[in-house]
Amino acid sequence: MKLTVIGTGYVGLVSGVCFAELGNEVICVDKIEQKIELLNRGEVPIYEPELQQLIVTNQAAGRLSFTTDLNESVKSSDIIIIAVGTPSLPNGHANLSYIEQAAKEIGRAMNSYKIIVTKSTVPVGTNEKVREIISEYTNEPFDIASVPEFLREGTAVYDTLNPDRIIIGTDSERAERQLVELHKTLTSDIIVTDIRSAEMIKYASNAFLATKISFINEIANICEKVGADVTKVASGMGYDRRIGSSFLKAGIGYGGSCFPKDTQALIQIAGQMDYDFKLLKSVVEVNRDQRFNVVRKLETLLGNLSGATIGIWGLAFKPETDDVRDSPAFEIIAALQERGARIRAYDPIASDNFRKHSDFKQIVYCKDAKEAAWQADALCLLTEWKEFERISLTDIAQWLKSPYLIDGRNIYTEEQLANTQLVYYSVGRPNMRGGIKEKAPSLAL
Ligand SMILES: NC(=O)c1ccc[n+]([C@@H]2O[C@H](COP(=O)([O-])OP(=O)(O)OC[C@H]3O[C@@H](n4cnc5c(N)ncnc54)[C@H](O)[C@@H]3O)[C@@H](O)[C@H]2O)c1
């Protein structure tokens, strides 16, 4: 099939490349010339494992191209996939201006029947709005469909080629047939539904996952007070098939380009219909507060943070990505700087992006993990990169000036800590001093 994908961000680029890998002819369009120039040179503007190799092979096979010319690409395609951003507006609503602009440009370029698919996460009713906008600019026939995306950054290529399910929301049999054909090699779990339900499935799924995270974080906070271990609690809960073990990892809370904005957007969607989504509001509040436990723990250990040097490991909102959108690291570092702390930060991939997206002054961006920890008064691990898991805790203890390690992602084990002199605070697990568990009750947060 001949496809155009509009937007070469994490979703558009990965989807376009994977559809090419499946044998389709794909044109990826973006309005940012610099991105398209990079892609045409075989370079990738984002960090996503396995992506570069697939780009190179599919470009060489003549199935994949990149352009800024939306008009020409729409004209030569049968299916147009909109994958532009839908960031939060200051009031929490989704900003639909990129979607509306893309719809206008598609409308102007229409020259024959096409299927217009929205992959971006959009509020209920947006696909119908897309239909209206396109109709204002063309009399050519077309159908619309909502095919929301569920990939996870860091494993985006794998997820796209191995999806748990594909949701197709459409009111057209013709569109349904072609979209089922397009996706049928990926999974047998293709769910065809109405457009509004498809739009809602995406928000409901993200809201539910965010709820699981905030739930286990609250359990972790209680575990700290009563002397239980949240990792054991989560493991025990996870055996119950009604609960499941995924997304029960306690930590400093979720961030990224999806959960924070999609939970806010769903609260707004409900509010517009005079429905107060109390549960989701609490999920958001719990998540916002959870990250500051790192700061509270540091204050418990060090007292006044003014003049203290704090090493930060991890700036990306999760491992295996360079995406720093809504990363908890922003607010944690801001809170530490407000208290007068000096920050030495290291991330294996995301430091440049973090620097670009922040206006922090006086952070020292370090070339490796050792440099960030060197002679620090405490070290905080904020992103669970594999690289950090492999570092010996004996080395960490030697690098630090004071032996304080705050693990915001629970990556180190009791065994690893056993022979070190570190004072170790994680999330919802017993604190350790020199390899020995502190007696409960632990920190009063
Ligand atoms: N990132 C994720 O993990 C993820 C997962 C599932 C769903 N989503 C959803 O997918 C959508 C895209 O997310 P993303 O992270 O890929 O966004 P992104 O910001 O990384 O990329 C969007 C791209 O669209 C381009 N663009 C905007 N308007 C355009 C236009 N008129 N013509 C051509 N290009 C245009 C931008 O230049 C940008 O490169 C969002 O709605 C998001 O909520 C994201």
Taking only the tens place, the pLDDT of each residue in 19-39 is 999 999 999 999 999 999 999
Best residue among 39, 127, 205, 257 to mutate for probing ligand 1, ranked by most atoms within 8 Å of CB:
257
| pLDDT at residue 155 tops 70 | yes
| pLDDT at residue 438 tops 80 | yes
The closest residue, in CA terms, to atom 43 on ligand 1 is: 121
| Domain span(s) for CATH 3.40.50.720 in the chain | 2-193, 290-437
CB-CB neighbours of 371 under 10 Å: 16
pLDDT grade, residue 59 (50/70/90)? very high
Query: What lines the ligand 1 site, CB under 6 Å?
Result: 6-12, 29-32, 35, 70, 83-86, 98, 101-102, 105, 120-121, 149, 151, 153, 257-258
Q: Is CATH 1.10.1040.10 the classification given to domain 202-288?
A: yes
Q: Which long-range contacts (CB under 8 A, 24 or more apart) does 361-367 make?
A: 362/337, 363/333
pLDDT for res 222: 96
Distance CA 206, CA 218 (A): 18
Q: Residues 2-193: name the CATH superfamily.
A: NAD(P)-binding Rossmann-like Domain (3.40.50.720)
Q: Is CATH 3.40.630.30 the classification given to domain 290-437?
A: no
Closest CA to 298 of 192, 402, 163: 402
pLDDT for res 441: 55
| Domain span(s) for CATH 1.10.1040.10 in the chain | 202-288
| pLDDT at residue 348 tops 70 | yes
Distance CA 221, CA 297 (A): 12
Taking residues 63-74, what's their average pLDDT? 98
Evaluate whether 427 touches 403 at the Cβ level (below 8 Å).
Answer: no
358 CA from centroid of ligand 1 (Å):
20
Of ligand 1's listed atoms, the one at least distance from the Cα of 35 is 39
pLDDT for res 199: 98
Cα–Cα separations (whole angstroms), residue 252 to 107, 175, 249, 317, 407: 44, 42, 10, 10, 9
| pLDDT at residue 310 tops 80 | yes
Question: Is 258 a catalytic site residue?
Answer: yes
Strand 432-433, strand 436-437: pairing: antiparallel
Share of the chain above pLDDT 90, in %: 95
pLDDT for res 368: 98
**pTM for the complete prediction?**
0.95
